[in-house]
Amino acid sequence: MSPKRVRGPSTRRTAVIAAAGVTVGATAAALWPSDPAAAAGPTAPACVRQYVNPTPAGFDVHLTNDCARTARVRVVVDNAGDSPCFRLAPKDSVIHTHESITGAYERTVTC
């Protein structure tokens, strides 16, 4: 009695599955920032002053624009959501309040 021949998976199906896996992996790699700090944007100019005040519930950041031009900045929070983008005309200021058990002030960046 001769041994039974067993057919392996079709070459076409294997190629389709492999291509799908490569596509998913490439898409995830393209969407995931390699450096989260770089994804946040460049650091705000020195003429945008930030005063960080710890509070029992989190922290407050008082931002003041001492620049000659309008500045668009946001507060980057480590381990929590960042602030919205604030548009500050010269001499304008804003206070961003962060309240949570997680999150710490990281830096202020342009947006």
69-109 pLDDT, tens digit each: 999 999 999 999 999 999 999 999 999 999 998 899 999 99
Which DSSP string do the residues of 29-65 spell out, in sequence order? Answer: HHHS-S-HHHHH-SBPPTTEEEEEEEETTEEEEEEEE
Give me the CATH topology for the region 37-110: Immunoglobulin-like (2.60.40)
pLDDT above 90 (res 10)? no
Contact 53, 59 (CB under 8 A): yes
Query: pTM for the full model?
Result: 0.64
Distance CA 49, CA 18 (A): 52
Q: Domain extents for the chain? A: 37-110
Pairing type for strands 58-65 and 93-99 reads antiparallel
